[in-house]
Every structure is written in C-alpha cells, then in structure tokens.
Copies of this chain bind each other. A is one copy, B any other.
Amino acid sequence: LARDEHEALRRTLDSMRIQDIAHVLMALEDDAVERVFNALARGRKVDVFSYLDPHHQHALLDRIAQADARHILSEMLPDDLTALLEDLPRDEVRRLLRLLPFRAIRRALTLLDYPDNSVGRLMTPEFVAVAADWSIQDSLDFIRVQKARGEMANVIFVIDDERRLLTSIPLGRFVMGRADEPVSSLGTEPMITLSVNADRAEAVRLIQHYDLEVLPVTDDDGVLLGIVTVDDVMDVVKEETTEDFHKLGSVGALNLSLRDARPSLLYRKRIGWLLVLVFLNMFGGIAIASFEDTISAVVVLVFFLPLIIASGGNAGAQASTLMVRAMATGDVKSSDWFRLWGKELLVATSLGLTMGIAVSAVGLWRGGPEIALLVAMAMAMVVVVGSMVGMILPFILSLARLDPATASAPLVTSVADVAGILIYFSLAVAILNLPAAGGGL
C-alpha cells in the first residue's frame, strides 16, 4: 500500500516543474517535505533543492540521508552552493564541506573568498569557452559535450592560451560559420566585462542597461573566471528592491520572506527605527511644550494641529519617495539636485497654496477670519518645508555615502512634524498677538 502511494506521488511529481515542486515543499511541514523529496527522481533532486530558500535547504539537509546530501551538494551549481553556504554559521559550513569531493570544496572556498555582495559571489564558474585557433567543427563538438553536461551555452567565450577572454560569440553564429575555419574567423565583438571584485549592483546595472543575457566576469589580468546570467540578476533586483521598500518603511533589511521570518527577527528589524523616531518626536513634544501658554490662551488652535503637521509630513513622504526611487533606478543623480530643487519648490508651492485655500474654509468655519488666515498660511509653509525636507534628505544621505532610501517616510514625517509645530505656533503668536513661546521645559 505504502508502495502504491509512493508510486502515485512519484508520478505526480514527474509531471510537475521543479520550481513548482520547490514552492510546494516550502509550504509543507517538515515530515512531509522529507517524504515528498525522497519520492523525487534522483536526477531532479538537485534542481528542486536549488530552488528552495536557504533556510529550507538547510532544514532539509539535516533530515535526508548523508549520501543524498553529498550527492546534492556536489552536483549543485557553484553559485547556488555559495548562496547556501554564505548564510550558514561557520561550523555548519565545515560540516557540509566535509561531505564534498576535494574539487568542489576548493571551488566553493574560492567563491566564498570574494567579498559579500561582490560579483564573485554572484557568478557561476560554469561556462563554455573555446580557443581562438580551434576549428568551428572542433568547437561545436566540444560545445555539444559541455551542453550534454548541462552547462548553459547560448553564448560561447573565446579565450587565449592564458585563459584571457578575447570575445564572446552567440552560439547561433557558430551554426552559421563554415566548419573548417578557425573560431577567429567569426570575428570579435566589443564586449562588456566586469571585474570579479566589483559590487554586484554593477552587474545588475550593466545587464539591465545593455540588455545582456550573460555578463563575463574576469580578474585583473582579463582571465575569464565566470559568468553572471540575467536570471541571477533578476533575483538580485528583487532582493534589493525589497530592501529599498523596507528602508522606505523604516524597517531593517530582512533577507528572508515575511512568511518565514520569526517574530523575534521582525521585532529586531523594527524596534531600532521606532526608538530613533520617538527620540526625534520628543523635539516635537518640546516644541509644543514651549507654546503651552499659547495653547492655553486659544485652545481651538489644537484642532488644526493634526491637519497641518500631517500635511507637511505627507508632502515630504511624497517628495522623498519620488526622489529615492528615481535615485535607485539611476534616473536621477546627485548632480541633478539643483535642477530638481527648483522644480520641487515650484510644485511644493502650488501644492501648499491649494492646501492652504482648502483648509482656510475649515478655519473660517471653526474660528473666524483670523484663524482662517493663520491656518492657510501655516499650511502653505508647512507643505513647502515638508516637501523640501523630503526632497533634500535623500541627496544629503547620498553625499554622506549612505543609502538615500534611509530617508524613509517615517523619518521625513518626523522631521517635518517638528518643523510644522514650530511654524504653526510661531505664526499663531504673530497673527493672533498671543503670549509668545517660553513655557514648557
């Protein structure tokens, strides 16, 4: 009976794509994961395993037979293996490496030696390279063998005797060439290459900008070390975009799916900014306290407080979001700040005037003409100041070599709040002839 079930399971799995199987596995309980994984055809185990998230990979390795673990680790693509190992504690890495054949250990250690977030960590050293003086026929035979071993080979690299990269040629061009001519007869193309120590963001930028399918990676002498492919890059883009979102929401980088993140991790990623921001907001409290006498004299002022300070924060959040995203996509550079500053000032002034007019009607209704004038002026100024804060903060962060995305909506809102409180009550003192600041503290 159990055997029948096993067979049925296996047939179902055979008809599914590896990505879908991986997806299902990550949603199952530990026992079921093991059972389904063991029912996979041997040849597909490695592929399915490669599509699991690192911590699911880790959990699964602990449960399956050691022979299976060894097989999987030694057959994984080097970049996938690196991705798994770099997230593990050092002891665990050692334990897993002991399962591997010597060649694979050396390869893994070489890749792990490159700095975090470098191209070296992202690339795979599995590519097809031929020598310039081989014949096209010999090259095609060689490519055939390599492809049969599962190497990706839409693009063939041409190297010299010292493995220095000469050019890259699409496989299709080999098909079109004459069999007895040397590879060099296919010509060369201007090539984009990247150093193995470059930041992986640079690989992303090059592949996106030049619509490359594959980017060759070399050392300082031009020796071909590996390739980065467009699907590696899509994963990086997704990861880094998520990081940007989180930063804009003032959450620390998770590097883990929200579903899988433990409460304690989420707590740690959120509490830091909340405490920093509450400290900033204390200045808001101090600002209000210094106008206690003003408030006591005309309590209706407090009615408009949330409207006005929130609007400054909202306009600021809009401005910073626009700026941070434009800087992340390369649409805007630090050098553009002056031109954009002029435009933002114009937009913010228009927004401020519209908002001022809208809120003056409410002012008239709740407090008469003087209050109407006060809230209209305060609103206009606060929207302009908030927008300026939101627009300029990302540039300042970028100049200080920090990530512009740190200019999160909550951070901008907090700064704009303090400014808003000061502007609003100062105007109130001036327009309504009220007792000036000086209470509080």
Contacts and interface: CB of A to CB of B under 8 A. Distances in A.
Interface in A369-424: 383, 408-410, 413-414, 417-418, 421
A66 interface: no
A181 interface: no
Interface string A188-206: 0010100000000000000
A270 interface: yes
B248 A326 contact: no
A252 to B, nearest CB: 10
Nearest to A390: B249
A48 interface: no
Interface in A324-357: 324-326, 329, 331-332, 336, 339-340, 343, 346-347, 350-351, 354-355
B323 A306 contact: no
A42 interface: no
A242 B9 CA distance: 42
A313 to B, nearest CB: 7
B302 A281 contact: no
Q: Considering residues A172, A271, A295, A306, which has the most beta carbons from chain B within 10 angstroms of its beta carbon? A: A306
B273 A314 contact: yes
A325 B246 contact: yes
A246 B318 CA distance: 8
A306 to B, nearest CB: 3
Q: Which of A251, A267, A307 has the most CB of B within 10 A?
A: A307
A319 to B, nearest CB: 8
Contacts of A17: 190, 192, 210
Contacts of A170: 154
Interface of A: 15, 17, 19, 23, 140, 143-144, 147-148, 153-154, 170-172, 174-176, 190, 192, 208-211, 213, 230-231, 234, 237-238, 241-242, 244-246, 248-251, 254, 257-259, 263, 266-267, 270-271, 273-275, 277-278, 281-282, 284-286, 288-289, 292, 295-296, 299-300, 302-307, 309-311, 313-315, 317-318, 320-326, 329, 331-332, 336, 339-340, 343, 346-347, 350-351, 354-355, 358-359, 362, 383, 408-410, 413-414, 417-418, 421, 440
Contacts of A418: 306
B311 A289 contact: no
Contacts of A351: 267, 270-271, 274
A350 B172 contact: no
Contact of A306 (B288, B303, B332, B383): B288
A409 B251 CA distance: 12
A23 B258 CA distance: 37
Contact of A251 (B23, B300, B322): B322
Q: Which 10 A-B pairs have the closest CB atoms?
A: A249-B321, A284-B306, A409-B409, A258-B326, A314-B410, A245-B325, A289-B303, A285-B303, A281-B310, A281-B307
